[in-house]
Structure 1
Amino acid sequence: MTTAIIGLFENGDIAAKVLGELTGAGVRKTAIEILQDVAASKISGRLVEAGYDRDKAGRYGKAMQQGGALVVAEVADDRADDALSIMRRFEVLTPEALLEKIGNGAPEQTETAQVIEEELEVGVARTTGGKRLRTEVTEQEVQETVTLHEEKVEVERSRADRVLKPEEADKAFRETTVEMTEVSEKPVVSKQAHVIEEVSLSKQAGEREVTVSDTVRRQDVTVEEIDGRSGTGKKS
């Protein structure tokens, strides 16, 4: 399964550097997308596809109409933490932070320190799978033993030397026919199909809650007073 890792950066140059770091770490270039100077609907739609709610995705799309570049990387689940760490090496912005950067020009001779707070953003990556039923016809040879009944008529001749009486001779000299029937059996094969099992597919849908935990960082700015020093000089 894959997870969508999202990072918003100030400009396309930074996004290109992030892409180079990700590909150098083994992420396929075709799995990385940089969105810049595109319609808000395309940005928010891509984030909804990655698992963001519509309100949050809409804030990204609206903010990026002023500038910025969004990096979307589809990485394997076991590589998600590594990809997130790579993005954090650069300045990942929230939509509000992006607007603040773009809207406020830095006055001359002004030194700034940033209060940075990481926000844990969890997306949902959807994968599809399932099962397929496919019938396959195979053939096998089956043997059955059957008993066949068979009758065979045999002719047997034997020599005789017997004198017939006149009355026997009169009866003997006439045309007669003697028949005996033979019976022979042969196997007759027929086939009949029987349903012995039925396999069906069904789908059940449900929801489950998963708690995702990670560590986010915050950088605060502390204002300190610097003590003034005075000195004296001597004239000679």
Structure 2
Amino acid sequence: MGADNPVSQAQIIKEFSMTTSIIGLFENGSIASKVLGELTKAGFKKSAVEILQDVAVSQISSRLVEAGYEKDKADSYGKAMQKGGALVVAEADDDKADDALSTMRSFKALTPEALLEKLGNRTDEATESAQVIEEELEVGVSRTTGGKRLKTEVSEREVQETVTLHEENVEVEHTKVDRVLKPEEAAKAFQQGTIEMTVVSEKPVVTKQAHVVEEVALSKHSGERDVTVSGTVRRQDVTVEEIDRKPAGSKAS
């Protein structure tokens, strides 16, 4: 099915399956993208819509033959698109094919001949431009985080103290004696008994006691200060100058 007006043409290619290929040729990729957007809004899956642009003739022809076009007509699309244009191929269920066709026609789908005519009527314009660029100095505030931290560490050191100890010792002294006991002394002498002498000795005893000798505290004070910031900015200006005209050389025939 096609439109009577050759300048606005989109076509439905019936296949033997339950899906239909809808073909639309447009002046540029921007229009083709809009068609894709409208089809998506209408409920068509994005994966079922394909845009062909800036590809080889064989690729376009092969895709259209696959969609149901005759080889000669498919080639005419491919050749026309070597100068520009974009082709939209949508695969849709049979009951939605007319909706896709109407959408493509609303964006003025073209025939290959109409596309060539539009592209041929374009005029090439050469434009050269220069930019005026100016830098601006922007001053902001960058915050950095710092401060002080109290950290406790435990260290050890040897401490020596001198202490006087009292010490007692028991000494045993043997003395040789040669003396005869009288009978009454002898009776008293042979008696069992124990003689003890107690001594006292001292040894050092070490104990530890912790004392707080200093306290360190952190406090924060806030304030404001003014800082003058300077920098160099650049500006690029454009000056228009006349070019001296020089006579072109000529050749005698």
TM-score normalised over the length of structure 2: 0.42
> Rg bigger for which structure?
2
TM-score normalised over the length of structure 1: 0.45
